[in-house]
Structure 1
Amino acid sequence: MNILAVEIEIPYAVDVHSTEDTLTVDLSDGRTISVPLGWYPRLDHASPEERAKWRLIGKGQGVHWEDVDEDVSVEGVLAGKPSGESQASFKKWLQNRQTRPTTA
């Protein structure tokens, strides 16, 4: 029996957009993938301005939001995998976010 091995090349992110309820990633192969923003609680709690401040990491293998310390991988988005952050970690982050001083 012959087995055909297929190598799957994961595309990289080229652009990122978000709305109040959706995270959208434009990929190098021409596809656009959208997932619920609620999959990533830190982004869900971020302001539109914070969500707009992203950068590609790993040559587009992922996206990083400095202001909310969130990383999302293209592979995870393609696989339909929401954030793996624990509830305890998110709760601690949210408490720290609510108690930090605001800058004016």
Structure 2
Amino acid sequence: MTSLEFETEDMRPVKAWCTEHEVHVTLADGRTISAPLWWYPFLSGLDAEALNDIELMYEGIWWSRVDEGISVKSMFLGWKAPGAQAPEKAA
């Protein structure tokens, strides 16, 4: 599957937001996808306002405050950003 086959009008983000532990994106076709916030270390340290200061792009979402973004494709395929480490689970 090529990139052009993956990114379609139906997969365009129409809404995005962050909760304490996840990034959520609603797509043009009505689906909502989510990924753990820890997958994106460049977002660590941002407060709730900054986490939700998101720009929608055709293929993904962008945080101008950190000059970083993620693609819908990477969320679907489970691609984590470089340096992503799962949090330690409490014993």
Q: TM-score, normalised by structure 2?
A: 0.75
Q: Please report how far the alpha carbon of residue 31 of structure 1 lies from its aligned counterpart in structure 2 after TM superposition.
A: 0.6
> Does 2:84 match 1:79?
no
Equivalent of 1:66 in 54, 64, 67: 64
One-letter amino acid matched to 1:35: A
Q: Which residue of 2 aligns with 1:23?
A: 23
RMSD in angstroms over aligned alpha carbons? Answer: 1.9
Q: Which residue of 2 aligns with 1:102?
A: none
- 1:1-104 matches, within 5 Å, as 10=8, 11-57=11-57, 60-83=58-81, 85=82, 87=83
User: How many residues are treated as equivalent by the alignment?
Assistant: 78
**Which secondary structure does the structure 1 equivalent of 2:65 belong to?**
helix
**Which secondary structure does the structure 2 equivalent of 1:68 belong to?**
coil
**Which secondary structure does the structure 2 equivalent of 1:30 belong to?**
coil
- Give per-residue Cα distances to partners, 1:24-76, cap 9 Å, x unaligned: 0101111100110000011232111111111112xx21111011121100111
The structure with the greater share of residues assigned to helix is 1
Q: Percent identity?
A: 38
Cα distance change on mapping 1:47 and 1:27 into 2, 3 Å: same
Cα distance change on mapping 1:27 and 1:47 into 2, 3 Å: same
Cα distance change on mapping 1:44 and 1:28 into 2, 3 Å: same
Q: TM-score, normalised by structure 1?
A: 0.66
**Which secondary structure does the structure 2 equivalent of 1:67 belong to?**
coil
**Structure 1: gaps (5+ residues):** 1-6, 88-104
**Structure 1 runs (4+) greater than 2 angstroms displaced:** 7-10
